Amino acid sequence: MKSTKLLKTTLLLSLIVFGWSCKDKDDTDPIVEPSSEIAINNWILDVMDEVYYWLDDLGTPIADDSDPEDYFEALLNRPTDRFSVIYPDYQELINNLNGITLEAGYEFQLYLESQGSTNVIAEISYVKKGSPAESAGLVRGDIITHINSTRITTENYRDLLSEIESQHSVTYLSLNPTSQVYEQQPPITLETVQLSENPNFIDTVYTIDGQKIGYFMYNFFAPGPGGSTTTYDDQTDEIFAKFKSENINHLILDFRYNGGGYVSSAINLASLIAPSVTTADIFSKTKYNSFLMQEIPELRDVKTGFKAKTQNLGPILEGNKVYILTSSRTASASELIINGLKPYMDVVLIGDVTYGKNVGSIPFEDTENEENPYGILPIVSQSFNSLDQSDYTTGFVPNISKKESSERLRPLGDVTELLLRTALEQITGTPSSGRFKTLDRKDIGSTLDRKIRSGVMIEQQIIK
C-alpha cells in the first residue's frame, strides 16, 4: 500500500527542490546503515514506486543489497524506457543539467577515417567561449587524430573519450584557408576547468535579398548557471528584443546540438515565438502515471500556458513560419518546442530526423539521508501539445533533409554553412552560387552523447 500522505506532502512541498525522502518506518523495522546499499535501494524503490511513468510495468526488485545502479536498472521498463538514469553524485547531476562541467570546452563528432579503416577521426563541432580549447586556438572543423599521443581507433575511442575529462593532449589537423588543405599542427595540451557553458551561443541578423533574418543557435535549455537564477533566460529575452527592434521578418532556430534541458526555458523560448500568445494559450499538457493522477487531483489535468512576453516575434514573422535546424541529437525539450509551436504556426524543419523523446524527468535526491550521494532521473511524465498530439517517439521528420556530416564543416553562422545555407535558400528563394563537395562519412558517435542533459526534458516541479 503506497503512502499517499507522504506522497502528497512530498509532491506539493518538497518536489520543487527535487527532494524525496524515504517513507516512515515502523519502530519494529530493523535499523539500516544510512550509507549501505540497502538504504540507498530502499529510497530508490520508494521513489520509483510512486512517480515512475510506467508504474504498471515497474520491474521486479533484485536483492536490496545490490549495487544501486543494478538495482535501479532492474526496475526500469526496458526497452520502452530508453531514458531513466541514475548518477552516483546528485550535485554533479544538477551542475551538468545547468551546463556546469569539468572540461576543456569543445565538442566533436566521430567518424571512420575512410571506408574499411579502423582509424577514427574526431571533427570539432564547436568550441565553447572562454574555454581552454578556445584559448589554445582550436576551431570548428579541426580534425583530431590522437588523444594523449594515442591514435583514435574503433577499438579504443570509448576509452580515449574518458581521458578528455582531465588534462590531456590532442594531435590535430587544421584547414589552411588559402590552400584548402588540412595541415598537421603541433600537439597541444588542454587543461580542464569547471566551465559554465552559456546555451545562448550565436545570435545574428542577416539582410539578404531584402529579407531580414534572425538566426539564433541555442545549445541546451537552462534558465541560468545554477540555483534559481534566470540569467540565460534573461539573455534570450534580450536577444529577441534585439531581433524585434531590428524588424526581422524571418527566424531560424538552430537546435542541431540541443539535447534538451529544463521545460521552464522551453516555455520561455516558445513564448517569444508563437504569435501573440497569452497566458491563456496552452503550450503543453502533461500526464503522469495512473496512481499520481488518481491520488492527487491537481495532476489530472495539467496544462502549461505560454508566458506573455513583450519581446514576442510572432506577429512580424512572414507567413507565420519559424525555421528550425535539427539533427539526430535534437531531443526532448527541443522537440517539446517543435510540438508545442505546431498548433500555432508553420514549423519548417531542416536537417536530420530528431531523437524522439516525448517524456519528461525530475531529478531526485534523498533529502533525509546525507550519506546517500545518489541522484536519479526517472521518467515521470509524457508531454502533449494543445491538440493532444504526442506521437513523435521516432522523431520529427524534417521538411528538408540534410545531414551536417555530408559536407566539410564551415563556421557556425557562416551563410555558406550547410544547414544555415539551406534555410536561407528556403527563405529567399535564391539558391547558393557556391560549389560544395559532398562527403560520405559514417557517424559513430559524439561527445554530446555523453552529456547528462542529452535527451533530457526536466520538469522543475510537478504542480503548475
Name the more confident of 117 and 57: 57
Q: Can you give the pLDDT at residue 219?
A: 97
Question: 47 φ, ψ to 5°?
Answer: -65, -50
pLDDT tops 50 at residue 16? no
> Over the chain, what is the mean pLDDT?
91
Residue 28's pLDDT band, with cuts at 50, 70 and 90, is low
Residue 30's pLDDT band, with cuts at 50, 70 and 90, is confident
pLDDT tops 80 at residue 24? no
Helix (H) or strand (E) holding 169: strand 168-176
Q: Can you give the pLDDT at residue 97?
A: 86
| Cα–chain center distance at 321 | 24
Q: Can you give the pLDDT at residue 27?
A: 52
pLDDT (tens digit per residue) in 315-337: 999 999 999 999 999 999 999 99
Q: Can you give the pLDDT at residue 457?
A: 74
The yes or no reply on domain 198-358+382-435 and CATH 3.90.226.10 is yes
Residue among 208, 168, 161, 218 at smallest CA distance from 191 = 168
User: How many whole angstroms separate alpha carbon 215 and alpha carbon 250?
Assistant: 9
Residue 12's pLDDT band, with cuts at 50, 70 and 90, is very low
**Percentage of the chain lying above the pLDDT 90 cut:** 83
Q: Which residue in the block uniquely carries the three cell numbers 541522484?
A: 375
pLDDT (tens digit per residue) in 179-220: 989 999 999 999 999 999 999 999 999 999 999 999 999 999
Residues 276, 288 contacting (CB under 8 angstroms):
no
Name the more confident of 430 and 2: 430
Domain ranges of the chain: 4-97, 100-195, 198-358+382-435
Question: Mean pLDDT over residues 5-26, rounded?
Answer: 44
260 bridge partner residues: 456
Name the more confident of 454 and 157: 157
pLDDT (tens digit per residue) in 61-99: 999 999 999 999 999 999 999 999 999 999 998 988 888
User: How many whole angstroms separate alpha carbon 266 and alpha carbon 409?
Assistant: 28
Question: Mean pLDDT over residues 456-462, rounded?
Answer: 63
Residue 454's pLDDT band, with cuts at 50, 70 and 90, is confident
Asked if 100-195 and 198-358+382-435 have one fold, the answer is no
Superfamily classification of domain 100-195: PDZ domain (2.30.42.10)
pLDDT tops 60 at residue 18? no
Q: How would you class 249 by CB atoms within 10 Å of its CB: exposed for 0-12, middle for 13-18, buried for 19 or more?
A: middle
What is the length of the chain? Answer: 464
Q: CA distances (Å), 413 to each of 163, 203, 330, 418, in order?
A: 30, 8, 18, 10
Of 97-111, 134-148, 233-247, the poorest mean pLDDT is in: 97-111
pLDDT tops 60 at residue 151? yes
Q: Can you give the pLDDT at residue 384?
A: 98
Q: Which residue in the block uniquely carries the three cell numbers 533533409?
A: 401
**Helix axes 263-271 and 333-341, enclosed angle (nearest 10):** 30
- Strand 200-208 relative to strand 211-218: parallel, antiparallel, unpaired? antiparallel
Strand intervals (E) in 197-249: 200-208, 211-218
Residue 304's pLDDT band, with cuts at 50, 70 and 90, is very high
Q: CA distances (Å), 156 to each of 115, 119, 159, 160, in order?
A: 18, 10, 5, 6
pLDDT (tens digit per residue) in 275-295: 999 999 999 999 999 999 999
Single-letter code of the amino acid located at 44: I
User: How many whole angstroms separate alpha carbon 314 and alpha carbon 322?
Assistant: 9
pLDDT (tens digit per residue) in 109-123: 999 998 888 999 999
- Strand 168-176 relative to strand 181-184: parallel, antiparallel, unpaired? antiparallel
pLDDT tops 60 at residue 152? yes
The answer to whether the bond into 61 is cis (omega within 30° of 0) is: no
pLDDT (tens digit per residue) in 338-354: 999 999 999 999 999 99
Residue among 355, 118, 98, 142 at smallest CA distance from 233 = 98
pLDDT (tens digit per residue) in 363-410: 999 999 999 999 999 999 999 999 999 999 999 999 999 999 999 999
Return all residues near 306 (Cβ < 8 A) that are at least 6 apart. 267, 270, 271, 274, 277, 278, 279, 281, 282, 283
Question: Mean pLDDT over residues 41-55, rounded?
Answer: 97
| Cα–chain center distance at 323 | 19
